[in-house]
Structure 1
Amino acid sequence: MSILPNRKVVWGHLALVAVITGVTVAYIFDARGVSTRPTNLLLIQPLAIIIVVLAAFVLPGIFPRADSDEAKLHDGETCMDLTRSLAVIAALGFLAFTLERIGFDIATFAFMVVTLAICGERRWWVNLSFSAIFTVALIYGYGAITPFPFPLTIL
């Protein structure tokens, strides 16, 4: 007997939402264990609440009806989709490890170019221009709100 009749479980999405929610709950418990002062929890607690609420909104979509178009869409996930996901994870790891070595600007630009190519953008001029605009906006926008001096190479 099935717990959810006529429903399909999208296991990858369920695992991702479970990990995100679990890490968030563990982090907020750890932060509250250190100190419950408002200065400690000013950003952490509201963000944790938002993440848990968003996970609750996403949860019904993880169990689509077995005969729906959404369930059929997830049936078509292939090994190539997994390969793309792993390539994006590798690109993110490359970004994290090269931020200080080659500069925040070049690492971000390279990450954007590679990720857009992995996700299917084939027009090189769109890829390069979007990556450049995004990188400039990110660096100047983030620099305006964060006093931390990021190592930059070009900008």
Structure 2
Amino acid sequence: MDMTTRFPATHAALLGIVFATSGFILWSSVSASSSLNNLVVAVPVAAVLGILVLLVITGTIRKPVDESAKTGVWGDLFLLAGFAAFCFALTHIGFDVATFVFVWAGVVMSGGRGLWQPPLYAALFTVLLVKGFGSLFPYPMLTLVL
């Protein structure tokens, strides 16, 4: 098994773009001002992105390739259309409801089963995300419920 079938070039390019962008944002924010108030969001986000990229790369390289796994284009296109609807709904419905519906649909599409687990996970994620962003950023977000 060669490396190109284990780690496709498109995945490597995307991870490289994410890694380079997070590095540039980190460099730009540190060079603009080293004040703690200016770096409270940029440094942790860039560090977490860098760590996640390295974890994805090492996990992909170490994992054996499943030859029987087929990737479906329709599922990817459906998820992309759902993300576009999510972005539209952020400003028209509200950050909380749009996030809840998108996460719920994503969990169900990823194989989440049961009647109460997907909406519970989506609700917990939505509350943490909305309250977390609300405490970090001073401008108000359009919300419907929270």
TM-score higher than 0.5? yes
| CA deviation string 1:22-44 (max 9, x = no partner) | 32234345556xx5321355643
Choose from 74, 78, 84 the match for 2:75.
Answer: 84
Q: Does 1:10 align with 2:3?
A: no
Q: Does 1:125 align with 2:111?
A: no
CA 13–62 in structure 1, closer or farther in 2 if over 3 Å, else same: farther
| CA deviation string 1:67-112 (max 9, x = no partner) | xxx3233x343132x4434433332332222112011121111112
Which consecutive residues of structure 1, in runs of 5 or more, have no partner in the other structure? 1-5, 65-69
TM-score (norm 1): 0.67
- Residue equivalent to 2:25: 27
Q: Does 1:95 align with 2:86?
A: yes
CA 42–137 in structure 1, closer or farther in 2 if over 3 Å, else same: closer
CA 126–53 in structure 1, closer or farther in 2 if over 3 Å, else same: closer
RMSD: 3.0
Q: Does 1:152 align with 2:143?
A: yes
Q: Aligned partner of 1:36: which letter?
A: A
Q: Does 1:36 align with 2:27?
A: no
In the alignment, the residues of structure 2 paired with residue 62 and residue 135 of structure 1 have an alpha-carbon distance, to the nearest angstrom, of 29
CA 31–118 in structure 1, closer or farther in 2 if over 3 Å, else same: same
Point out the structure with max Rg over C-alpha.
1
SS in 1 for 2:46: helix
CA 102–58 in structure 1, closer or farther in 2 if over 3 Å, else same: closer
TM-score (norm 2): 0.70
In the alignment, the residues of structure 2 paired with residue 46 and residue 125 of structure 1 have an alpha-carbon distance, to the nearest angstrom, of 33
Which consecutive residues of structure 2, in runs of 5 or more, have no partner in the other structure? none
Q: Count matched residues.
A: 141
